[in-house]
A and B are shown apart, each in its own frame.
Chain A
């Protein structure tokens, strides 16, 4: 054991052989020995540079362009506050759309948690066989790896006047004519979104449930806590990390969502990202940039708030 710590504190391995020293990789190893800072820097460099050039550039430029002027031939570098003024003036549709965006994300988050929590709980507590546990968990994760776009499109035939859901309802004689909210509406969009996003939540909650010590559960039972009490005072607090990880996904991707609204929601009630897309469609790049800045600020604020409650590096 002493030998082990010794070697680690020196940070050194036995010397390289002549042959290894001569090779290129041997020379690299030799050059980096004893320079941990340089090694760290070199390891981080390619990816960090990549991020700076893409997301870094995008963030800086979008802020700058939001103060430029949209012209017929593209953006003109004439600085103005007009983009923000027309956005933020009272009575602008922007306010309603911002509130609507936050409403959709809140409804999405609440719905997904309510749908996913019992699923994770069942996999954890009700299903006993390890084989079934992993098989079912896999079934809930697989859609995550298929195409989001395709999964959205699969909801197209479900809604509408002759949609599957309305046909089933009429077939069962629950209703005589197609239900209005099941046309391409805001409600249909929410249903599609709930089942599109549930795959982000089941896994994280289940994994944090798995980490709950069995002793804690039996201790709660021994001391006479009712199942409900155990659930709300023991299980829910201990699954907060999983809930937060899943929520982070739902909020971030929910705020960025614009396809489902267009395809399923009837393209009547855009969220902020959808508004940006509509501005791009009509070449209002400066206006689009101003909305983008607001959307980015909202996203960063919500993410910052959530990251206060848990450390994403500890999942």
Chain B
């Protein structure tokens, strides 16, 4: 008996060590990137550190200014301008795809003819390799004489990419909760809009938040589909497309400063999501209790 418990705890310890090692592999590269972003002006994008400086951070915030340390072939795009465009785009994409996916998820609650075909059409947005979508639409726009831009063609493919994710999130939501509650509210005298606003939406709140988070983060990072669809100048590119372009030229620690900045931004967005999620789930719990109680009384 003693032997088995001892063996068990040994394997338990091994498992714990294992996940710590995997976590290190997941997060250690971020730390390295942050450290190297403080590389000295004469240092490169790998170790060793040649002095410590905020030089590359300064360059991040002062794009296009050549200095005594500037190199030939250095990438001079304005990362922060691109970041601004990407943030605006991500916000619009998150809202648009959440609304359209929520609408469609309602339709999927009841079986209808062709539901599989529609569902798999949506799923193609995830399945079809991004670069092929980019190429196909780029060539079509080219034929039509339309110049791609981040506010039009890039928006179109971003929403295409996020919509299926948001749909799946809401389908999971409807699987989780039986919305008999809606019927109950209707019986107790609410009109359909009231039933929707006061009963269905509060229950769905956690899923709406998840959908917004997925829409926002997936769009903020999208580059495969929008690669050819943000326009040809640096002034219309989104951040990921600009990063793609810069990596094929010469990599400087400015890229690490940028990566550190955007990662911190991502963490902030995730923290915000978790904060609202906890609040929403508390509220949903309260809403469910409130709705169920009169029902219980009625049955008694």
Task: Tell whether A288 is near chain B: CB-to-CB under 8 Å.
Answer: yes
Do B118 and A147 touch across chains, with their CB atoms under 8 A apart? no
The majority secondary structure among interface residues of chain B is helix
Contact B156 A54 (CB under 8 A): yes
With A136-B19, A153-B33, A313-B119 as known contacts, state yes or no: A4 contacts B184, CB within 8 Å. Answer: yes
Find the A residue at minimum CB distance from B17.
Answer: A122
Q: How far is the CB of B220 from chain A (nearest CB, A)?
A: 7
How many inter-chain residue pairs (CB < 8 Å) link A and B? 267
Which chain A residues border B199 with CB–CB below 8 Å? Answer: none
A149 touching B136 in the complex, CB below 8 Å, given contacts A126-B15, A157-B46: no
Chain A contact residues (Cβ within 8 angstroms of B): what range?
Answer: 35 or more
Partner of A61, one of B137, B160, B240: B137
Determine the chain B residues whose CB is within 8 A of the CB of A156 once the complex forms. Answer: 45-46, 251
Known: A47-B167, A299-B128. A292 touches B47 (CB 8 A): no
Q: Which residue of B lies closest to A40 (CB)?
A: B107
Given the known interface contacts A44-B107, A252-B126, A273-B131, the answer about A54 and B139 at a Cβ–Cβ threshold of 8 Å is: no
Interface SS majority for chain A: helix
Residues in A lying within 8 Å of B, measured CB to CB: 1, 3-4, 7-8, 13-14, 16-17, 20, 25-26, 29, 36-37, 39-41, 43-44, 46-48, 50-62, 65, 74-75, 115, 118-119, 121-123, 126-127, 136, 138-140, 142-143, 145-151, 153-158, 160, 162-164, 167, 195, 198-199, 252, 255-256, 258-259, 262-263, 273, 276-277, 280, 285, 288-289, 292, 295-296, 299-300, 303, 312-315
Contact between B213 and A145, CB atoms less than 8 A apart? yes
For window 236-268 of chain B, which residues contact chain A by CB distance below 8 Å? 240, 243-244, 247-248, 251, 255-256, 259, 262-263, 266-267
Size of interface on B: residues with Cβ below 8 Å to A:
95
Interface contact A160-B46, CB-CB below 8 Å: yes
Flag if B267 contacts A61 (CB, 8 Å). no
How far does the alpha carbon of A166 sit from the alpha carbon of B36 in the complex, in Å?
16
Chain B nearest Cβ from A161, distance in angstroms: 8
A139: contacting residue among B23, B223, B266, CB under 8 A: B23
In the assembled complex, the Cα of A26 lies from the Cα of B45 at a distance in Å of 62
